[in-house]
Structure 1
Amino acid sequence: MGQPVFKRIVLKVSGESLSGNLGYGIEASVISEIAEQVKEVIALGVEVAIVVGGGNIWRGIAGTEKGIDRATADYMGMLATVMNSLALQDALEQIEVPTRVQTSIAMQQIAEPYIRRRAIRHLEKGRVVIFAAGTGNPFFSTDTTAALRAAEIEAEVILMAKNKVDGVYSADPFKDSSAEKYEELTYMDVISKNLGVMDSTASSLCMDNNIPLVVFAITEKGNIKKVVLGEKIGTIVRGSAK
C-alpha cells in the first residue's frame, strides 16, 4: 500500500466541485465520492482537515455585481460554505468516518465554534475536521481560510482539489490549446505570472509559512490517496525552488 508522506493535511474542496453536472447546488453522488476518497486517506492514519468553498450556492463577488454590499455578500457566501460543510459531514458519517464541523461564525445549534486546540485534538483522535464559514471576516476567500487554518494547525500540505483541471496551466486549457501544464512552481511564480491558483493573500500566507500546495483533479477516483502517498500528479507549489 505504501506509506503516506504527510501526517496532517488540509484538503481544499471548491464549492463548484460539489455540484457535479448540475451546475448548482449539491450532487449527492459527487459528495459521496469525495467522502469515500477521504475515508481511504483516514485509513492510512493521515489526519484530515477540510475547507469547503461555497461557489455552488453563492459567490460573494457575484453578489456585489448585482448591487449587494460586498461585506453582506461575503457573509452570505460564508453561510453557503456552512451548508456544504454539513452536507459533507453527513456523507462522511454515513460511511462511519467521525467528523466535526467548526465554524468561524457562531452557530452553536449546528456546529462547534472554531477553536484551534479543539480542532487539533479532534485530528489527533482520528476525526475529520471541516472548517466552515471562511475566516469569519468579509473580503477573504476560502483559499485564504485554507492557508490560515493550515498554518494554525501546523498541517504539512494543502491539497487543492479541482473539478475541471488536473493542475496549474499557463493559460485556461479549455480556451487555449497551447496552454502548458506546470509540474512544479514557486509561490512567487504564481503571484508574478498571475496564474490564478489562489488569491495573492492566500499565496503569501502559504509562502511565509512554508506550506506546500498540491493542485490536482478530484474527479479521478483515488487521487487524494495518490497525493498523500507521494505520487507525482497535478502541480506542486512550494515556497522556493527545490
Structure 2
Amino acid sequence: MSQAGDFAYAAWPDIAEAAGRGALAVLAVGACEQHGAHLPLTTDTDLALGVSRRIAAALEGVVLPPIAYGDAWNNEAFAGTLSLSPDTLRAVLCDIGRGVQRIGFSGLIVINGHFGNREPIALAARALVGGGLPVVHLDYPHLEKLAGEICDSEPAGPGFYHADEVETAMMLALRPEAVDMSLAAPEYPDFPPTFGIEPMQLRDFVATGVFGDPRPATAAKGEALIAGIVAESLRLIGLWRARHAI
C-alpha cells in the first residue's frame, strides 16, 4: 500500500496488515454542492480528503474512501447540488464505522468538510462509541483563528466560509486544476435576521453562491491554512488517543 495508506492504492492484505498493527482509520466526509462559478461541486469532499490524507500520513493511518455526499439541503436551489438526508448520512456513517470495527482498526477519525454534516456525524459517533469503537470527529479546528491571521478578505459572517478566500485558497493548494480564478467574484449577502434559527434556502439571499471574496486566494495561503488545521487536528487526536490508550 502506498500514497500514505490510501484505500485507493490498497489490496486486502494491505488493510489486514494495517489493522493488525493497530492503525487508525481516517474518513473524510464532504458534500456535492454549489461553490460559486469558480469552484467545483466536489470542493468540500476535495478539501476534507486532502486534510485527511495529511493527517493519516502523520499517524501512519489508513485513509478510507471519502463520503462524497452530505446534508446540503440548503443549497438544493442551485443546480448540481445533490444532498443526503441527515438520517441517510448518519446510517451510512454507522455502517462504515461498524465495518472499520470489524476489520480491526483501533479507532475512527472523521474529518468533516461541510457544516450541514455536523449533527449526523455527531449522532453516528455516539452510536459507534456505544458499540465499542473509539471515534473522534473534527471540523477544521482553529479555522476561524487561522483565517483571521492568513487571509486578507473579511468573512461574510462569523465562522462562515463558503466559496470564499478560505476555501478557494485551500483548493488552489490541493486541486488547482479544478479552480477557475477568472470566474472568481465577490458577494457579501445580507443574512436574514432568522438565519441559523430556521431552515432556509441560501439562494433566497445569495445570487452567485459565494459568501465573501475569493479573489485574494493563493495556493500559499491555502497551504498555510491546511498546515494549521492539520497541526491542531493532530494535537486533538493525540489527546483523544491518550484518553483511550490507542
TM-score scaled by length of structure 2: 0.36
Q: Which is richer in strand?
A: 1
TM-score scaled by length of structure 1: 0.37
The structure having more radius of gyration, on CA atoms, is 2
Q: Which is richer in helix?
A: 2
